[in-house]
Structure formats: C-alpha cells, structure tokens
Amino acid sequence: MNSGGWTIAQALEALTSRRCSSEELVVDLLAAMKGIDQRISAFLSIDADGALDRARDADRRRSAGEDGRLLGIPLAVKDLIHVRGQPCGSASRILNGYMATYDATVIARLRAEGAVFLGRTNMDEFAMGSSNENSAFQMTRNPWDITRVPGGSSGGSAAAVAADEALAALGTDTGGSIRLPAAFCGCVGLKPSYGRVSRYGLTAFASSLDQAGPLTKTVADAARLMQVMAGADPLDSTSAPTPVPDYSAALTPRLDGMTLGLPKECLVDGIDPEIAAAVEKAVAVCERLGARVIDVSLPNTAHAIAVYYIIATAEASSNLARFDGIRYGARADGANDVADLYGKTRQEGFGVEVKRRIILGTYVLSSGYYDAYYLRAQKVRTLIRRDFESVFEHCQALLAPVAPSTAYRLGEKTDDPLRMYLTDVFAVPSSLAGVCALSLPCGMSSERLPVGLQIIGPAFKESHILRVGHAYEQATDWHTLRPSTGENVP
C-alpha cells in the first residue's frame, strides 16, 4: 500500500472512504519501519501492539459512526513527551527504564481525536543538541544522506517523517529543535508561540523556551495538528488563554495584501551561498504571489546565541536537578551516602553535552556571577523581543534561512561545541522572543540536500506563517521530493 508517503489529509480521505482501515495503515507503516529504520535509526522504541490496538479501536469507532479529527491517524512522538504506558527516557541513561504513567496534554488532546501513537523517536539527550548525535543510545541518520546528521534535537521525528516511516510526528523546540531537523530532512516543522501549546507532560529543558509542535509533510497537515494541540491548559500556568483560530481556514493560494519582512541580519557573510540563493528565490516567489517584501532590521539578534546559552543552560541546571537516582530512573550502585549516590548517578547517567550545560548553567546562576551573566542576558532578551515587536508593526511575517548550512557530516562538529551552537544562529532569536516560526523546504543543494525557509510571525499569529507557508508550498514542488532511503547506504 506504501501509505508512509501519504499526508494526513490523504490518509483521512482513504480512511473515511473505506479504501483502507487504520489497522492496515499501521501494519503498512510497521512493515516499512523494519527495513528503513535499520538504516536511519529514527525510533528508540516502537509500540507495535499498542498502536495496533488503538488502530482497531479507531476502526470500530468509525464503523459505529463515531468521528474524530485524527481518527486512526498514526503519529510518532519525540522521546520527552509523555505517552501513558510508553517509555519516556529523553534519550538519556539516567531515565533508562522510566515508563510514563500519564499523557502529556498534547497527547491527551490528540488521543481524544483518535490519533494512534507508533512509538518513541530518537533525540539529543534532554533535547540538548543540534545534530541528534547526543543521544545516549543511537545515532539517527539523515534519510537524504546517511553519512549526515538529521539535525537536533527532534532529529528522530524529522527523519521518520522524511523517510515515510510516519505520516507526521511530534517534536519540541527550545532554540530550533523542530525547525532545524525539518530543514535538514526536507519536511515541515512548526514552533508555536510560547504559551500557545501546553508544556504539561514534556520533560523540561528550559521552561521559558520549550514548546511542542508538529513535524509534517505539508503545511496543511501542520495546521491540522496545531488545531488539536493548541489552547490554554489549566495544568500549565504558562499556557495562554488566547483564542485559537481556524488555522486551516487561513490557508490560501495567494498572499495579496500581506507585507513580509526580510531581516538584513539573516543573509550575511558566512551563510552557505546555496542557502542564500534558495531563500532569495523563495522571496521572489512570495512577491509573485502578491506579497510586498520590505527590508527590516533586528539589531539585537546578534547577541541571541550568547543570551540563549546563558538562559537555557541556567534553566536546565535547575530542571535537571530532579534527576538524582532517588525518585525515578536509573540509580548508581555502590554509593556510600546520599551525596555520593547523587554524584555517581549523575556521573553515570548524564552525557557529556548535558553535563557541559549543567555546569555552565550552574556557573551563571552562582553567587557573584548572577548579575553579570543571567540578569544581563534577560535584559538583552527583552531587547530582542522588542526588535521583533517593532518590525511586526510594519509586516505580518519575516522570511529568513533556518540554518547557515545544509546537513553536515556525522562527527563534523562534535569536537567543537561553539561551532555546533552556531548552527542555531537563525533559529534562536524567535525562541527568545516567544514568537512563532515555521520551517519548510525551499530548495536543494548541489549535493542534493534539502534547504529550509523560515517564516517567523508575531506571537499567537500562527495563522500568518501558515498562510505564507501554504501559499509558497502550493506554488513550488520542493515538499514533494523524497529521499531514496534504500540507495544512500555507503
């Protein structure tokens, strides 16, 4: 049946017309995974029995005349989002063996609409990384070229969607962790505005930045999933009571009446010329679709990487203090006392990058350095947010690259953390500002690697960026390209 290449919209049409059942859809995807995932390692675990049970239940509900906006649709889930009865280890040894006892709010909402959860996708440990090489268990490979990274931290989710192992997947974005993998793997990734989607049930990395979002094959599918996921949640005090519009209704083939901004800080020296050229061509397409494009400036975004790696690591050092070998997860043997148990458990359980960020975060919060680093970073963060608020007085969305390069080779940047961190240079500013951003394919490099276009919108204006993304997508065919996962084995 080869259903892995279907969009959610195509699968729903096949299910409602009874051309296939949800059980057949899941069986088809599970069969595809057996061959494909041996090459790319997108999944940490697959819940075949649970997915088949849910699929059969969806088929029974459909036969009984019941409905659901995602009834019978299989989705993959990043390994830090709680799904009741499935492991939730955040790709870390310190949570090895931990099973989720409840659903995250996003999962509960998707489950209520009939979604089926296939399994857990690989990620950088505790979402700390840009390449997916920091997982404690395996290395996910890019389906377009398995010698290259899929991007991080939601690399397993993006690879699964790009390789047609899943119709769509859930990821999280703290500083680019949905958008970067989407760009590297050639799929669509949406980072919602901070507060638009509940964080309840997400293993926290940086609480003022984390947001869950979809990775899909089309912008329309991203809008469909966001419709279910978005909205205030009494279990998350940071979720906003802002009304959720009809995202699908915002999708139009034209951009007449829209003004789009092109930040001068994005197309600068150091960016891959092929990426700059692809983004410039995408800008021209948007103009042909009726948009007016103006030059804008976000001057304080030059400080975004430094600010991000102070604030995010400070919050990580606080959040990860709960992993101590006492309450859940792995516990080291041979400890002499409680302090020794904490130390040995964390030494054995955390990977190198996680330890690096905990140490950095603890340092910037320490006595004598709090004002010099953390407090100053928060002040600059406010300036960055004001930059975005200022430009959005003149335009409804911004166009920019997602990353300065296409997917790089495995191991290329692991020995140089600062070089790795700069991968997120175009993604981090919108995270600090709390605004929404979308990544979608806009070209291919000479090495046949996907190039991502980033569309950034004001806070809680996901409908703006979805409209721009959908119109661009309909006018081009980049989103229809698929990797030959059987032919890119060394």
Report the sign of the C-alpha dihedral through residues 173, 179, 185, 188, in that order.
positive
Q: Give the catalytic positions in this structure.
A: 78, 153, 177
Query: Could you give the C-alpha distances from 127 to 231, 320, 412, in angstroms and in order?
Result: 23, 12, 19
Amino acid, res. 232: A
Give the mean pLDDT of 359-368: 94
Report percent pLDDT > 90 for the chain. 91
Query: Which two three-digit tokens encode residue 395?
Result: 């335009």
Q: Are 349 and 321 in contact (CB under 8 A)?
A: no
Give the mean pLDDT of 264-273: 87
Between 219-229 and 462-475, two packed helices, what is the crossing angle to 10 degrees?
160
pLDDT of 36-49, one tens digit each? 999 999 999 999 99
Q: Where are the domains of the chain?
A: 3-265+272-298+386-480
Can you identify the CATH homologous superfamily of domain 3-265+272-298+386-480?
Answer: Amidase signature (AS) domain (3.90.1300.10)
Query: Could you give the C-alpha distances from 406 to 179, 403, 409, in angstroms and in order?
Result: 13, 7, 10
Q: What is the pTM of this model?
A: 0.96
pLDDT of residue 216: 98
Given pLDDT bands bounded at 50, 70 and 90, which one contains residue 485? Answer: low
The 8-class DSSP code of residue 202 comes to B
Given pLDDT bands bounded at 50, 70 and 90, which one contains residue 275? Answer: very high
SS3 for 162? helix
Q: What angle do CA 84, 162, 122 make, to 5 degrees?
A: 40
